[in-house]
């Protein structure tokens, strides 16, 4: 179904307010962000960074050369494709050709574990560089390979031709760039202070653009051999560089840069062993080289930390235009419209940079790494992969349709499904199917896929739901929402307890229970939280502080509702031998209440708390749950003091008395002489632990008339006072 476009935030806000105003707790499961759709399974769909789904460019397998890794790809002027790679532990690398008619074959097998770089000159001659301890080979159309140049370097990472026909060779582990004349004569052209020149390109002025490891530098080297650092990236290595037609330089960086603990050393010495199987993380491959290979050269394991792409303008200004926390960039290219195409691992995604803030995931080749890219004038993109090594083509034609199988919604309880809505634009169509079940993983015991009944979910009520969206033609889907409502269940009052006497809670709120609460918007740029796909909030049991109030008594309780319904509470009281509950307060929203206990006769009581979900349900659906407290006392009568008398005995006065409370244990007895300070009087049993005690103590006789005052408290702080006069 098609709707006028509104933002996801506005939609969620309106739905949230509607549920509050009309007291119907209908929830909305919404997908409107890139992260929402990425949790599902996309087939033949592209996904933009702003959460738009479109049919993807058609992805085809061009050739499978039966190698573990393909690292390089190039296209000549006749439309022939050349790709090179190899496998772990092998002694031969493979160069394959796919001619313009689509026929593929192995063109040559070269000495060395793998082919890391390929370049083609103006005469369409093919040059392939092998690693480790490799060489640059020139391969003719018949597959005859001759050594064209030996840089005497551990690794050869990249090749590039200048407009004058010179071949530039990027090497490691001494971080050198070699220049080789068309005759094959060559030498070191530029020495960096890095271990590896990891990537290489040439701009329109024959300046070399190089990316390094381990400092992550983007260098510009002029034809006069002078170098200049255009930018130092925060990552360890610059895995790919590319120069756009407008002169902008794009550089991709990856890997964690080690902290500098000492001044950077000079060029590393040649390694004493350590074959390039290290690039494939092969155990027992021999001692490590003095300068280890870059992190992304290990294509058999995931590189941590993601990648960043920077654009360096012709005036030297650099800014980051793309970043991804998981995907690692291996290759950059430009499509027919001049937009940057990005090949990545660890998930085999191919991206297009649409702007400085937006991008589109065109296709996914998981679980491969996209290690090389090439394009043709018609807009077709070619990609080579590692784990397993294959050649693919992408576009420019688009799939007629594609599907998204969403993540599974956990409604947290048995639920009824409602309306499913979507927002899309463009010429085409979007259709939906759903299925439901009562186990968390979609499997055969779920209901079958079912089309919507109009715009309503036709799948049976259950706890879990999944949808499948089919996008056809030029439609652009950017919002999906499904309404649902959990089956109403009664709230549960889990605990009710009385509080300390003579203390009270704050007064209950006097506002209407139906008044909507304030709505707090999320921070700008963050998800609105409109999707309900989490457990309802749980009552924490935390109550506000009590204040002193003579004669006050209170109760507090813990209550939860699996539907996350708004609750109202009623608290009632009943004496021990009574049969009818008397109301204390109704329509409470708070989970606590205090009252004046002096209005009740002394005795044993209980309170009952009833929770109702009435604010969130129709009268026919309202449910309630109750719980009683343990017995507690109301005692506002002070103890009784009897037998108070003082008898003169020499220089002392013997004082005796008896104290008794009807309901509570006595807590403290004190005496005062002639209005002086109060002093503690102990019972004859020494321990104050029962409802009545005898007390006996002595005071000094002194001169004249003496007034002896006594006071006794019970556990509820009721206090009795008496006095006797001794002459």
The model's pLDDT over 327-342, given as tens digits with 9 standing for 90+, comes to 999 999 999 999 999 9
In 3-state terms, what secondary structure has residue 575? strand
Edge-to-edge strands of the sheet including 307-312? Answer: 237-243, 249-254, 307-312, 318-324
> Which one is predicted more confidently, 473 or 274?
473
The C-alpha angle with vertex 92 and arms to 89 and 93, in degrees rounded to 5, equals 100
What is residue 164's DSSP assignment?
Answer: T
pLDDT at position 540:
80
**DSSP assignment, residue 598?**
G
Name the band, by pLDDT with cuts 50, 70 and 90, for residue 283: very low
Residue 78 has pLDDT above 60, yes or no: yes
Q: Return the sign of the alpha-carbon dihedral for residues 476, 479, 480, 483.
A: negative
DSSP 125: -
Write down all domains in the chain, each with its CATH number in brackets: 8-55+401-486 (2.60.120), 57-398 (2.130.10.10), 492-505+543-634 (2.60.40.10), 640-726 (2.60.40.650)
Q: H-helix or E-strand containing 117?
A: strand 114-120
Percent of the chain, pLDDT > 70? 87
Query: Residues 89, 407: contact at Cβ < 8 Å?
Result: no
- Is 462 strand, coil or helix? strand
CA dihedral 409, 414, 417, 423 (to 10 degrees): -20
Closest CA to 641 of 706, 716, 693: 693
User: Are the CB atoms for 555 and 499 separated by under 8 Å?
Assistant: yes
Q: Band of the pLDDT at 467, cuts 50, 70, 90?
A: very high
Cβ(56)–Cβ(402) below 8 Å: yes
Q: Quick one: tokens of 69?
A: 């890794």
% pLDDT > 90, the chain: 77
Give me 469's structure tokens: 């969206």
Q: How far is 501 from 551, CA to CA, in rounded Å?
A: 7
Res 258: pLDDT: 77
Q: How far apart are CA 472 and CA 45, in angstroms?
A: 10
Q: How confident is the model at residue 638 (pLDDT cuts 50, 70, 90)?
A: very high
Summarised one tens digit per residue, pLDDT across range 481-532 is 999 988 889 999 999 999 999 999 999 876 555 556 666 676 665 554 444 4
176-to-237, 265, 267, 287 alpha-carbon distances in Å: 15, 15, 9, 22
Which helix (H) or strand (E) is 16 found in, with range?
helix 8-21
pLDDT of residue 298: 61
**612, 570 contact by CB (below 8 A):** yes
Q: DSSP strand E in 399-491: where?
A: 401-405, 409-425, 428-437, 450-451, 462-473, 476-486
- Confidence class for position 304, pLDDT limits 50, 70, 90: confident
Q: Which residues pair with 296 in a beta bridge?
A: none
- pLDDT number for residue 294: 75
d(Cα 550, Cα 552) in Å, to the nearest integer? 6
**Residue 20, token pair as written in the block:** 């509050």
619: buried, middle or exposed (CB in 10 Å: 19+, 13-18, 0-12)? exposed
Q: C-alpha 91: how far from its chain's center?
A: 44
Q: Dig out the tokens for 579 from the structure.
A: 């049969």
Which 3 state secondary structure label does DSSP give 11?
helix
Tokens of 365: 């080749």
Q: What is the pLDDT of residue 287?
A: 34
Q: Which candidate, 341, 521, 486, 476, places its Cα nearest to that of 410?
A: 486
Residue 361: per-residue pLDDT? 97
Round the average pLDDT of the chain to a whole number and report it. Answer: 88
Other CB atoms within 10 Å distance of the CB of residue 513: 14
Please determine, for residue 415, whether its predicted confidence score (pLDDT) is greater than 70.
Answer: yes
Q: CA nearest 209: which of 155, 256, 151, 160?
A: 160
d(CA 455, CA 482): 10
Label residue 291 by pLDDT band (50, 70, 90): low
Q: Which residue has the tokens 């094959």?
A: 184
d(CA 613, CA 615): 6
Peptide bond into 227 cis (omega under 30): no
pLDDT tens digits, residue range 87-139? 877 789 999 999 989 999 999 999 989 999 999 999 999 999 999 988 999 99
Q: How confident is the model at residue 273, as a pLDDT?
A: 29
Quick: pLDDT tens for 248-271.
Answer: 999 999 998 877 654 444 433 333
370-412 pLDDT, tens digit per residue, is 999 999 999 999 999 998 999 999 999 999 999 999 999 999 8
Confidence of residue 673 (pLDDT cuts 50, 70, 90): very high
pLDDT, tens digit (0-9, with 9 covering 90-100), for 4-54: 334 444 444 444 444 433 334 688 999 999 999 999 999 999 999 999 999
**Sheet containing 640-649: order of strands:** 640-649, 652-660, 692-700
Tokens of 644: 């108070």
Place of tokens 């749950």: 625
Could you tell me the pTM of the whole model?
Answer: 0.75
> From the CB of residue 721, how many other CB atoms can be counted at a distance below 10 Å?
12
**Mapping DSSP to helix (H, G, I), strand (E, B) and coil, where does residue 263 land?**
coil
pLDDT of residue 343: 97
In whole angstroms, what is the distance from residue 270 CA to residue 239 CA?
22
Of 423, 434, 398, 422, residue with least CA distance to 45: 398
Secondary structure E strands in 516-639? 547-548, 552-560, 568-575, 582-588, 592-596, 603-612, 624-628, 632-634
Nearest-angstrom CA–CA distance, 168 and 149: 11
CB within 8 Å of 314: residues ≥ 6 apart? 246, 247, 248
How far apart are the C-alpha atoms of 128 and 211, rounded to whole Å? Answer: 20
């Amino acid at each position: 179904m098609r709707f006028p476009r509104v933002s996801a935030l506005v939609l969620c806000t309106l739905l949230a307010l509607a549920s509050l105003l009309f007291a119907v707790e209908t929830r909305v499961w919404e997908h409107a962000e890139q992260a929402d759709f990425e949790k599902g399974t996309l087939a033949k769909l592209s996904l933009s960074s702003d959460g738009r789904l479109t049919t993807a460019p058609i992805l085809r397998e061009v050739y499978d050369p039966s190698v573990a890794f393909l690292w390089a790809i190039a296209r000549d002027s006749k439309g022939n494709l050349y790709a090179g790679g190899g496998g772990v532990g092998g002694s031969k690398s493979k160069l394959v050709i796919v001619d313009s008619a689509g026929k593929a074959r192995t063109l040559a097998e070269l000495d060395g574990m793998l082919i890391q770089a390929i370049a083609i000159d103006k005469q369409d001659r093919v040059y392939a560089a092998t690693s480790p301890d490799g060489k640059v080979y020139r391969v003719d159309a018949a597959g005859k390979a001759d050594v064209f140049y030996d840089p005497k370097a551990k690794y050869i990472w990249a090749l590039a031709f200048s407009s004058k026909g010179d071949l530039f060779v990027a090497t490691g582990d001494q971080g050198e760039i070699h220049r080789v004349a068309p005759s094959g004569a060559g030498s070191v052209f530029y020495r960096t202070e890095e271990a590896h020149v990891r990537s290489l390109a040439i701009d329109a002025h024959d300046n070399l653009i190089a990316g390094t490891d381990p400092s992550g530098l983007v260098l510009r080297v002029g034809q006069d051999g002078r170098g200049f650092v255009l930018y130092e990236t925060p990552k360890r290595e610059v895995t790919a560089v590319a120069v756009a037609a407008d002169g902008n330089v794009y550089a991709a960086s990856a890997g964690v840069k080690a902290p500098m603990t000492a001044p950077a050393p000079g060029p590393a010495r040649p390694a004493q062993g350590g074959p390039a199987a290290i690039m494939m993380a092969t155990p027992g491959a021999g001692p490590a080289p003095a300068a280890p290979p870059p992190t992304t050269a290990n294509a058999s394991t995931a590189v941590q930390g993601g990648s960043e792409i920077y654009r360096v303008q012709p005036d030297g200004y650099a800014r980051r235009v793309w970043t991804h926390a998981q995907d690692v960039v291996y290759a950059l290219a430009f499509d027919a419209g001049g937009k940057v195409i990005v090949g990545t691992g660890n998930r085999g995604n191919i991206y297009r940079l649409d702007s400085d803030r937006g991008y589109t995931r065109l296709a996914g080749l998981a679980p491969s790494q996209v290690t090389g890219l090439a394009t043709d004038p018609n807009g077709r993109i070619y990609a080579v992969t590692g784990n397993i090594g294959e050649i693919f083509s992408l576009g420019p034609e688009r799939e007629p349709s594609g599907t998204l199988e969403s993540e599974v919604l956990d409604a947290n309880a048995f639920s009824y499904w409602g309306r499913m809505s979507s927002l899309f634009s463009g010429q085409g169509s979007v259709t939906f199917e759903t299925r439901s079940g009562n186990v968390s993983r979609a499997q055969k015991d779920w209901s079958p896929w079912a089309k919507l009944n109009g715009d309503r979910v036709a799948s049976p009520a259950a706890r879990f739901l999944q949808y499948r969206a089919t996008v056809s033609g030029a439609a652009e889907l950017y919002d999906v929402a499904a309404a649902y409502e959990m089956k109403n269940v009664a709230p549960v009052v889990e605990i009710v307890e009385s509080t300390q006497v003579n203390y009270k809670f704050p007064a209950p709120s006097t506002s209407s229970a139906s008044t909507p609460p304030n709505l707090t918007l999320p921070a700008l740029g963050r998800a609105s939280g409109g999707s309900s796909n989490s457990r309802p909030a749980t009552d924490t049991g935390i109550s506000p502080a009590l204040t002193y109030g003579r004669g006050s008594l209170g109760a507090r309780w813990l209550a939860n509702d699996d539907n996350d319904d708004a609750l109202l509470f009623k608290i009632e009281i009943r004496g021990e031998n009574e049969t009818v509950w008397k109301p204390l307060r109704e329509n409470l929203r708070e989970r606590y209440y205090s009252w004046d206990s002096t209005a009740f006769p002394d005795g044993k009581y209980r309170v009952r708390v009833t929770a109702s979900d009435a604010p969130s349900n129709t009268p026919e659906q309202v449910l309630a749950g109750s719980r009683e407290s343990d017995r507690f006392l109301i005692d506002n009568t002070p103890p009784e003091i009897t037998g108070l008398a003082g008898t003169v005995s020499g220089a002392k006065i013997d004082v005796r008395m008896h104290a008794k409370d009807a309901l509570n244990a006595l807590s403290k007895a004190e005496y005062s002489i002639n209005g002086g300070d109060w002093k503690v009087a102990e019972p004859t049993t020494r321990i104050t632990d029962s409802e009545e005690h005898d007390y006996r103590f002595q005071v000094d006789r002194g001169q004249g008339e003496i007034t002896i005052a006594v006071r006794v408290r019970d556990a509820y702080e009721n206090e009795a006072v008496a006095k006797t006069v001794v002459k």
